[in-house]
Structure 1
Amino acid sequence: MSELIQLFIIFFMIGCVSFGGGYSMIPLMQTEIVNRYQWLTMDQFSDVVAVAGMSPGPIATNMAISIGYMHLQLPGAIVATIGMVLPSLLCIILLAVFYNVVSKNEIWANALYGIRAAVTGFIFYSAIIFTKNNGVFSSDVSYTLSQIFIFIGSLVALMYFKKHPIYVIVVSGLVGVALYS
């Protein structure tokens, strides 16, 4: 099977089974892209997550573009993006057509309660893995403490002061430059 077809199938499958937004897809992408096929290293994957998360647009699409491009250049970016977006597109079209029937279905509503709980677990898992793989829990205590300070400061800025995420990203980057340069 050609690598382009394989890339499409992987992103299509991830798009089919991921609920709750792009952050819930990160563990699935890591399993396929880093662990199974080894198209990227964990460091490269972590960089993709960071850049995709701070870039405009959906993180899943941004990651598909980046991973596809890093693996197979422009054709890879296009194929991975189509694979990632197609399941959502088809699902939303079907839900729009059948909304009145689906919205009143008790089984569907109960399934969504379970899916929401699982998605929360996926997002939490992604945060733990991303933190672990990016040196927050390193042996250098001063480095770890400063990253924990940035982490807590970001949470406080977002949750308590209701600062815009872009502001938090910019300030965190500037603090990182000041602390680590």
Structure 2
Amino acid sequence: MLLWQLFISFMKIGILSFGGGYAVISMIQYEVYRYSWLTPEEFQRIVSLSGMSPGSIATNTATLIGYNTAGLSGAIAATSGIILPSLIVVILIAAFFYKIHSNPWVKASFYGLRPIITALILYAAIHFGFSNPADSILHWTSIATLLISAAAFLLIVKYKVHPLMIIIGSACVGIILF
């Protein structure tokens, strides 16, 4: 039953996931809390590890949640669930892409999805940054998180610093501050 639950939950996420891995984190989080698969702290650690690992954060997160919940079989069920819808869609689109890629309705629909994807990423970032209920917005860790986030954003956008350097620098600052 648990393996089927993992497969179906992640397949639903795979079907509804537009905008890439980070936009999907809020949907994964909903399913994790709905079925009580992980504590908020465990979920945050898994998402952090998934983001640092090579590959898609959504697939990595599904795999680690499945493994944490039901071992190797759970990892296979969750991973299969999240990739199956994309695999089917990619095969279908590849078969018909040449005919539909210049269609104005198709182009317009993708432009229409951009604001929703942005909102999902923003929600995940805010929720992830302030996931510890003990931290209020005025707690020093929340203020430090905001400052590190703002500095990282500025370095990436204005100075075009490579994201890997930002990750390493943020990890070092985290070791010192936290």
Tell me the TM-score normalized by structure 2: 0.91
Letter in 2 for 1:75: S
2:23 aligned with 1:24, yes or no? Answer: yes
Contact 1:61 1:84 in 2 (8 A): yes
User: Which secondary structure state, in structure 1, belongs to the residue aligned with residue 79 of structure 2?
Assistant: helix
2:91 aligned with 1:93, yes or no? Answer: yes
Report the identity percentage: 41
User: Counterparts of 1:38 and 1:139 in 2: how far apart (Å)?
Assistant: 26
Contact 2:130 2:142 in 1 (8 A): no
Alignment of 1:103-142 (within 5 A): 103-134=101-132, 138=136, 141-142=139-140
Per-residue CA distance 1:77-129 (angstroms, 9 max, x = gap): 11111111111111111111101222133322222222222111111111111
Alignment of 1:1-181 (within 5 A): 2-34=1-33, 36-134=34-132, 138=136, 141-180=139-178
- Bigger Cα displacement from structure 2, 85-94 vs 137-146: 137-146
Tell me the TM-score normalized by structure 1: 0.90
User: Counterparts of 1:139 and 1:99 in 2: how far apart (Å)?
Assistant: 47
Aligned residues between the structures: 178
Structure 1's 154 and 28: CA in aligned 2 closer, same or farther, altered over 3 A? same
- Bigger Cα displacement from structure 2, 98-107 vs 139-148: 139-148
Contact 2:129 2:145 in 1 (8 A): no
User: Counterparts of 2:140 and 2:130 in 1: how far apart (Å)?
Assistant: 16
User: Counterparts of 2:114 and 2:176 in 1: how far apart (Å)?
Assistant: 39
User: Which secondary structure state, in structure 2, belongs to the residue aligned with residue 96 of structure 1?
Assistant: helix
Structure 1's 165 and 134: CA in aligned 2 closer, same or farther, altered over 3 A? farther
Gaps of 5+ in 2: none
User: Counterparts of 2:133 and 2:149 in 1: how far apart (Å)?
Assistant: 13
User: Counterparts of 2:138 and 2:11 in 1: how far apart (Å)?
Assistant: 40
Structure 1's 97 and 136: CA in aligned 2 closer, same or farther, altered over 3 A? farther
